[in-house]
Amino acid sequence: MPSACLIVYEKKPRWAVALRRALQNPSLIVEVRSFTGVAAAIAAAPASLVFLDVQEKELQPALDWLDDVGRHFPQVRVLVALPQELASAELLYREAGAIDVLYFTLQVPAVARMAQRQLAQAPRDQLTVRESIAERMPWPAFAVAQP
């Protein structure tokens, strides 16, 4: 797994479907259905962008999780989607560390731009000396010797 991906936590795949359409590289989306799954995905890719689709019964657990993740994984950024009727909780999530709070899937293009920025800033995987040199060659198709 790369050092960063877009981790989407939601019970029903509504946002993930829209994000797959909007992203240039939809293979970087990891869908999870529990906070335990989110934690496992973050452990594997610690510079990720996490998208939480929070429902009414998850308000407090999601706030607690968000507060905790900021302390343990400082490179992780979190976006929160709330139902319109829970708009009063927006400030709580922002204070806990969410970089944005969204309400409508029409906001997916903005999420896609944030995800692309976060993924571009993520640290790259360590390359071997040979791979590093090959990556910088002006003719990449011929940079690696054929066996």
pLDDT single digits (tens) 67-94: 999 899 999 999 999 999 999 999 999 9
pTM above 0.75, yes or no: yes
pLDDT value of position 33: 95
CB 105 within 8 A of CB 15: yes
Query: Residue 2 — pLDDT band, cuts 50, 70, 90?
Result: confident
Sheet arrangement for strand 98-102: 29-32, 6-9, 49-53, 77-81, 98-102
pLDDT value of position 21: 92
Q: Say if domain 6-142 classifies as CATH 3.40.50.1820.
A: no
Return the higher-pLDDT residue of 147 and 114. Answer: 114
Tens of pLDDT along 90-126? 999 999 999 999 999 999 999 999 999 988 888 776 6
pLDDT value of position 139: 64
Closest CA to 38 of 6, 63, 1: 6
pLDDT value of position 125: 67
CB 10 within 8 A of CB 16: yes
Distances (CA, A) of 27 to 23, 34, 40, 44: 9, 20, 18, 15
CB 7 within 8 A of CB 50: yes
CB 120 within 8 A of CB 2: no
Return the higher-pLDDT residue of 87 and 139. Answer: 87
Show me where the domains of the chain are located: 6-142
pLDDT value of position 146: 52
Tens of pLDDT along 7-60? 999 999 899 999 999 998 888 899 999 999 999 999 999 999 999 999 999 999
